[in-house]
Structure 1
Amino acid sequence: MPTESSCSVSDAAELQELQPSAKLVAKTLEYEGKLTQPQLSESALLPVRTVRSALRILEENDIITARISTMDA
């Protein structure tokens, strides 16, 4: 089942030490709102594998929250 993610970055310092792909994913979510992994991959022009890795990093740093998406269920 697809995962949907959302982001609220209140301080750029939160992102400063992260990988460039994680920064791009966070900013894409911030600007576009909740997206599934395939939507995020398309919007950020990143491979799905890179998006998954970036999302994991962002979740570990408590920058995003992810949840199971019912959009494709």
Structure 2
Amino acid sequence: MSAIQHAEADTLERVRDLPPSAKLVAKVLEYNDTLTQSELADETLLPPRTVRYALNRLEDADVVESRFSFTDARKRLYTLDV
């Protein structure tokens, strides 16, 4: 198994026991490098509050990294930590 495949398997393991909303957000981030919370809400069709909850659960599981946007410091950008 390559290092990338091992990292992906580790990420899947950490997501397995999370709520469905967190799994959906992780899957959307897998296909889109970096998104804001509002972009995630648009992509997943989930309410913003549910996306916020999912992101918190993913951050607690060390699956998602967040950073402030350089173009708008009020927004955070989320990426999947693979």
TM-score, structure 1 as length reference: 0.80
Offset from partner CA, 1:18-60 (integer Å, 9 cap, x none):
0000000011011111000111100011111100000000001
Deviation at 1:70, TM superposition (A): 2.7
Moved over 6 A (4+): none
Equivalent position of 1:49 in the other structure: 49
Letter of the aligned partner of 1:36 in structure 2?
T
Unaligned runs of 5+ in 2: 1-6, 74-82
Point out the structure with max Rg over C-alpha.
2
Aligned-CA RMSD value: 1.4
* 1:67 partner letter: R
Q: Identity rate of aligned residues, in percent?
A: 49
In terms of fraction of residues, the more helix-rich structure is 2
Which structure has more RCO (C-alpha within 8 Å, separation ≥ 6)?
A: 1
- Mapped partners of 2:61, 2:71: distance in 1: 26
State the aligned residue count. Answer: 65
With structure 2 as the length reference, what TM-score do the two structures score? 0.72
